[in-house]
Structure 1
């Protein structure tokens, strides 16, 4: 009986680990399939060094927004204003830079601060006046777009000075790119080794070292290949580096800090979080401030990449950011989200846009495909909850 019980436990553990692994690698498998398909349909041009560089630059704005949107959705809220706020902060930066001749550094700081202040304003309504985030941010979407049109008088503001354009159009030298890749790989192996040591010291079981280090080796190989491909063009795009830095920062915040744990606790069960002594209002406010500041960064990146600020800048970006989060595994019910997954989701969305554009597919098909992907991602999320017995 004990042997049968042991075998049963092993079988159940295998099924659970297999399910977790499938869920973990679905995004990567989907990304690989998208890359292979578009590479076939474009005669290999999709995976060319030039197009990969453009793709990573293109995804940077949505990635920055998706990082903040993950935190917002995890708390059980939504932000429909990020596209308009991105356009507004980018427009303010361009106005100060072009019309008033302000230095690039001050302009960037002002754009981020303005975004944070407007995020604070929205967060105050949501956290302290209990107005649903959907309504507050829907109103913010209209207000911010109206302010942008009013400030710019409906004009396109251009051109920008080289110092501003370089933010989204400069490349990290080859040598530094390889150094960053090697450091990243070393950190992956060190963190894996430390995690295994910690689990051993705590008396917990570890996965097979072959599985662990094979997986890390695959990540390392991917990092080196991407670095090599980008260096064949001009090097690592600065916007991509900004996304990596922000991603690492907010992964650390979400996993290693009390604020990150509070955010997930609030989204998981707000009543239990309140009874545990978590200040729900203050943490909700902080999440919207962070979202506003990241919208400011996205606005600067977008304006720099386009070398202009327009009244339509950032239009519909909120939907791309939400779709990236949902595709990356963030639950619209709150309490569950993955920043790395959201960034991969942004890459998937950008890859679909980029690949379909290279195939000269009409724009309306791009909207249709992205809409269907969003619906499918939400359906998968809801289906997984029902499978796990969550209603």
Structure 2
């Protein structure tokens, strides 16, 4: 005979999916525009950026870390790619001008994100700086560099080829959705099918035991933060492409949405437990919630209150589950 406790344990595995279903059901009853095809594609385009950030954040949180800098890294990498594709790079010392196509500008932007994330990991592992403090510092540094890079002004008119990344369609599906799907598939394979993924979970579960087992803690953590930075850059390129403009203040509070998606998706803030697909569901829940509140004409101020309460509830549930285990 199946006990109530077993029922609850079984349903807890699908809590994010259940929450998404209930949320969609309620919003479809409250707004006739919610389940339209146009709105569904709009939601998927909007959540694509947060899912990219959330995937990287999941890898970080699985090691019992946190990354508060992804929003600022997103803005800086978007600005770098936009500048290169629009104006190229002039090296006055060598009297040299280097032009960049969309693909090469994107690769440079992702490389910048990787390096900034790697620097986060290096600071955390080399100097034993708490992840919260190290990434908070990078949040400020990257935002400041973005303002210096852009002069505080947006970079516009990036060209049709670059804009296609964020606004184009391929086989009837928006390009941001394709990009996000590729990111998610790679991340799932990385975490589930490779030694690197097993090392991530081992570090979050018990770092001391992982070290004694021969896991290179420093290398894994640096790689995790580097990947998070690179995925923030991917999100920045999508945002910049969609707007056809690199905004100096892009990505503000995006790190909070990413953390919310990770927690709502069932990843433990203590590390070692969670999944990439959980973060994807969490990102979709956040996107659906934002979209629904807009359709219902809820004040932006109340939207922040609701989102904060949802995050708090998710953390409370996470802590309650941890105590039961």
Please indicate the TM-score interval, normalised by the length of the shorter structure: over 0.9
Question: What TM-score, normalized to structure 1?
Answer: 0.78
- The correspondence of residues 127-206 of structure 1 with structure 2, limited to 5 A, is 127-173=125-171
Comparing 235-244 and 92-101, the one that deviates more: 92-101
Distance in 1 (CA, whole Å) between partners of 2:76 and 2:301 is 26
Structure with greater helix share of residues: 1
Distance in 1 (CA, whole Å) between partners of 2:161 and 2:232 is 21
Aligned length: 315
Q: Tell me the residue number matched to 2:80.
A: 92
Question: What TM-score, normalized to structure 2?
Answer: 0.94
- The correspondence of residues 149-298 of structure 1 with structure 2, limited to 5 A, is 149-173=147-171, 235-298=172-235
Specify every segment of 5 or more residues in structure 2 that has no aligned partner in the other structure, as ranges.
89-98
Q: Tell me the residue number matched to 1:219.
A: none
Q: Tell me the residue number matched to 1:321.
A: 258
CA RMSD of aligned residues (A): 1.3
Distance in 2 (CA, whole Å) between partners of 1:309 and 1:353 is 23
Q: Tell me the residue number matched to 2:20.
A: 31
Deviation at 1:99, TM superposition (A): 2.6
Q: Tell me the residue number matched to 1:21.
A: 10
Distance in 2 (CA, whole Å) between partners of 1:127 and 1:19 is 39
Distance in 1 (CA, whole Å) between partners of 2:118 and 2:2 is 50
Q: Tell me the residue number matched to 2:315.
A: 378
Distance in 1 (CA, whole Å) between partners of 2:323 and 2:113 is 38
Task: Note if 1:42 corresponds to 2:31.
Answer: yes
Deviation at 1:111, TM superposition (A): 0.5
Comparing 256-265 and 358-367, the one that deviates more: 358-367
Distance in 2 (CA, whole Å) between partners of 1:26 and 1:369 is 19
- The 3-state SS of whatever aligns with 2:34 is helix
Deviation at 1:11, TM superposition (A): 4.2
Task: Note if 1:334 corresponds to 2:271.
Answer: yes
Q: Tell me the residue number matched to 2:39.
A: 51
Distance in 2 (CA, whole Å) between partners of 1:83 and 1:307 is 18
Specify every segment of 5 or more residues in structure 1 that has no aligned partner in the other structure, as ranges.
1-9, 174-234
Distance in 2 (CA, whole Å) between partners of 1:331 and 1:53 is 30
Q: Tell me the residue number matched to 1:108.
A: 106
The structure that has the greater radius of gyration is: 1
Deviation at 1:15, TM superposition (A): 4.9
